[in-house]
């Protein structure tokens, strides 16, 4: 059922949950930070010494304490309540308007797929918040290897000269990733997502729920220049297109 909700719904749930968590820990109940840190320390010490009885006691005291501490957080209660509401709303919709599912063949010969992706290095810095995009003027290519928190990432390869093989690696929590690739570049794309959608050239995934996929262009193994794209998202969409 979760697959039928738009990606932005999950994005807003996670963002609101993060804001509530920040307000609760740093403004309303700052003492919880030390409690969570102490219980986490017990879990760590217990795990390191789990072979003896004292280690087992520390580990399970820490785990049980963390469970009851976290379950009482407003942010976690909000996320659980939001997910339950989504299930209930979707259940009501499916009872009134049942879905008719048509099979779609996704396991095509990978060599017959049109076009996939690229990677860069320090064109971006790892940021927790905010959008990032490549320069709109010509720039020197550097491989990309970044992780981020909240915001969109736009990588345009049409304004640079690519080496024989380039790499783009983006690990992100909440937001969308867009990659624009010139027509003469061969592409390999590997993407994983908990919630979201994907568009890789002509291939569409209208709903990804804890899934991953890999596509590459027909001439990728021997063609140059070529780009490898590795992306992972908690909640968000990915789009790879020719430009």
Picking from 69, 96, 123, the residue at the C-terminal end of a domain is 96
91 and 169 co-located in one domain: no
The pair of structure tokens assigned to 241 is: 């297109």
pLDDT-based confidence at residue 77 (cuts at 50, 70, 90)? confident
143 and 231 co-located in one domain: yes
Residue 45, pLDDT > 80, answer yes
The pair of structure tokens assigned to 105 is: 């063949």
End-to-end CA distance of the chain: 35
Picking from 70, 96, 122, the residue at the C-terminal end of a domain is 96
151 and 209 co-located in one domain: yes
Q: What is the mean pLDDT of residues 83-108?
A: 60
69 and 159 co-located in one domain: no
120 and 87 co-located in one domain: no
64 and 141 co-located in one domain: no
Does an H or E element contain 199, and which? strand 186-200
152 and 182 co-located in one domain: yes
User: Regarding predicted confidence, which is higher, 90 or 36?
Assistant: 36
Secondary structure of residue 207 in the 3-state scheme = strand
160 and 234 co-located in one domain: yes
**Predicted pLDDT at 2:** 45
Instruction: Determine, yes or no, domain membership for 176.
Output: yes
Instruction: Determine, yes or no, domain membership for 83.
Output: yes
137 and 191 co-located in one domain: yes
Instruction: Determine, yes or no, domain membership for 15.
Output: yes
DSSP secondary structure of 52-73: SHHHHHHHHHHHHHHHHHHHT-
Is-contact 164 226, C-beta < 8 A?
Answer: yes
Is-contact 40 48, C-beta < 8 A?
Answer: no
Q: How many domains does the chain have?
A: 2
Residue 113, pLDDT > 60, answer no
Nearest to 215 by CA among 234, 202, 232: 202
Instruction: Determine, yes or no, domain membership for 104.
Output: no
How much of the chain, in percent, has pLDDT values that exceed 70?
Answer: 80
Q: What is the pTM of this model?
A: 0.55
Bridge partner list, 170: 146, 231
Most confidently predicted of 12-26, 93-107, 159-173: 159-173
The pair of structure tokens assigned to 143 is: 């491989």
Residue 212 burial by CB count (10 A; 0-12/13-18/19+): exposed, middle or buried?
Answer: exposed
Instruction: Determine, yes or no, domain membership for 101.
Output: no
68 and 161 co-located in one domain: no
Residue-wise pLDDT tens digits, 221-233: 998 999 999 999 9
Picking from 74, 96, 118, the residue at the C-terminal end of a domain is 96
Q: Rounded to the nearest 5 degrees, what angle is found at the Cα of 182, between the Cα atoms of 176 and 185?
A: 105
Nearest to 185 by CA among 235, 233, 144, 242: 242
Helix then strand then coil, % of the chain, to nearest 5: 35, 30, 35
Residue 52, pLDDT > 70, answer yes
**Predicted pLDDT at 103:** 39
114 and 38 co-located in one domain: no
Domain containing 119 equals 110-242
124 and 10 co-located in one domain: no
Nearest to 19 by CA among 70, 62, 78, 100: 78
Residue 217, pLDDT > 90, answer yes
**Predicted pLDDT at 169:** 92
Does an H or E element contain 132, and which? strand 132-133
């Amino acid at each position: 059922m979760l697959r039928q909700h738009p990606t932005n719904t999950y994005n807003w749930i996670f963002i609101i949950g993060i804001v509530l968590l920040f307000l609760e820990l740093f403004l309303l109940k700052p003492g919880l930070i030390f409690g969570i840190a102490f219980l986490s320390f017990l879990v760590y010490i217990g795990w390191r010494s789990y072979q003896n009885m004292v280690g087992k006691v520390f580990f399970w005291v820490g785990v049980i304490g963390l469970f009851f501490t976290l379950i009482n957080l407003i942010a976690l209660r909000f996320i659980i309540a939001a997910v339950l509401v989504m299930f209930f709303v979707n259940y009501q919709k499916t009872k009134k308007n049942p879905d008719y599912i048509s099979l779609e063949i996704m396991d095509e010969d990978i060599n017959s797929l049109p076009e996939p992706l690229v990677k860069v290095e320090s064109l971006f810095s790892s940021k927790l918040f905010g959008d990032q995009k490549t320069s709109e003027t010509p720039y020197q290519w550097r491989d990309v290897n970044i992780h981020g928190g909240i915001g969109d990432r736009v990588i345009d390869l049409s304004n640079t000269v690519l080496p024989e093989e380039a790499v783009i690696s983006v690990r992100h929590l909440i937001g969308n990733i867009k990659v624009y690739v010139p027509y003469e570049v061969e592409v390999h794309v590997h993407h994983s997502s908990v919630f979201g959608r994907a568009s890789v050239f002509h291939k569409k995934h209208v709903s990804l729920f804890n899934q991953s996929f890999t596509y590459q262009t027909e001439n990728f193994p021997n063609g140059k220049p070529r780009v490898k794209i590795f992306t992972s998202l908690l909640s968000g969409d990915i789009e790879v297109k020719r430009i």
